[in-house]
Structures are given as structure tokens and as C-alpha cells.
Chain A
């Protein structure tokens, strides 16, 4: 696939998708966290084997998600204390 063909395909996306504004919006963090974990581990592990790479990426992905969840709870509690 030539660079011009890739550009034409990408340039075809001229209309944004409609996405909701409810709590399910938080799920958008999951693919991003997975991508960050995978790319980071791809640069860090000394030798890539399927088993160790998947395990290490999953651990980092879980850590990111837990940190985001804890931050969300802390933010929620702080907001509740200020407002109430």
C-alpha cells in the first residue's frame, strides 16, 4: 500500500462519530491503556516471547486501569466533600 493510498484512506474520515456522554464514556480509557501498555513493554522487555510479553503487558494494563479507577474514586470523594 503506497503512502498516497494510506493518505486517501485516512483523509476519507471527514465526519466524527456520535459518542455518548454517560458513565460508559469511561470505557474509552481501556483501548488507550492497552495501547500504552503494549508499546511501552515492546520497548522495555529484553527479549520478546509471547508468554512473557502478554503477561507483562497485562500487568501494566491492569496497573493503569486500577490507578485510573482509584483516581476516579478519590476525585469523586473530594467533590462530594466540597459540595455537601
Chain B
């Protein structure tokens, strides 16, 4: 059943990618890399948290700062909810707190993107080993 096996593998890859996006490090847990998952979760959540602490939730602005938002959304879908909150409540931030907050939250997002790709790649390798490719 090669077609069924390929389809199962695709579902696994999608699940791992989605899990890694929803919670940083969750994708690595699914491929049984618990140490990596813990390190990734701690580092990304702390980096994102520092950005929010310094710049407030206003650094996530899907209307005024779209390029930054593209990187920030890679952290988790929860960022979209925070972005909605920022735009509807009219929170604002200026100057250095904005710069630092955006750099930290965006870097955390890009690091999570790296981890998503890495988790999917590990899942692909595990799938390939199982099928003997």
C-alpha cells in the first residue's frame, strides 16, 4: 500500500508542522525529541515574552506594521488574536520600546519558523526510515 503510506506520511508532516506553529516545540514532541522541544519552547516563549513586556501588545500591529506582523505571526496563531486586540482597542507604542519589542517578537517568530521546518524535516526522515526509502 504505497499510496496509503505516502498519504499517512503527508498527514503526519502537516500535523507536525501545525503543532509546531500552534505551540513552539510541540512539533518536536510529536517526533519524540523532548529535550529539543523543551529548549525551543523555553527560548522562543521567553524571547516573545521579553518583546511583549518591553513594547506591550501594541508591537503586534497587523495594520500599521505589516512586515513585522508577518514574522510575528510565525510564533503562534494566538498572535492574530493579540493583533486583533491591538487594532480594536487602539493600543499604541512609539520609540525604542517599539523597536526593541518588534525586533524581539519578530525574531522569536522567525526562530519558530526555523523550528517548524526542522520538526517537519525530522518527521519526514522518520517516515522515510520506516518505509525504507
Contacts and interface: CB of A to CB of B under 8 A. Distances in A.
Given A16-B98, A32-B103, A11 B114 contact: no
B55 A16 contact: yes
Contact of B56 (A14, A20, A39, A40): A14
B133 to A, nearest CB: 20
Contacts of B55: 16-17
Contacts of B53: 13, 17
Given A19-B97, A36-B111, A10 B47 contact: no
Which applies to chain A's interface (DSSP): helix, strand, loop or mixed?
Answer: helix
Interface in A4-46: 6-7, 10-11, 13-21, 25, 28, 31-32, 35-36, 38-40, 42-43
Given A10-B82, A13-B52, A13-B53, A42 B46 contact: no
Interface size class on chain B is: 35 or more
Interface of A: 3, 6-7, 10-11, 13-21, 25, 28, 31-32, 35-36, 38-40, 42-43, 48, 53
Contacts of A40: 111, 114
6 contacts: A14-B58, A16-B93, A17-B55, A19-B100, A31-B50, A39-B114
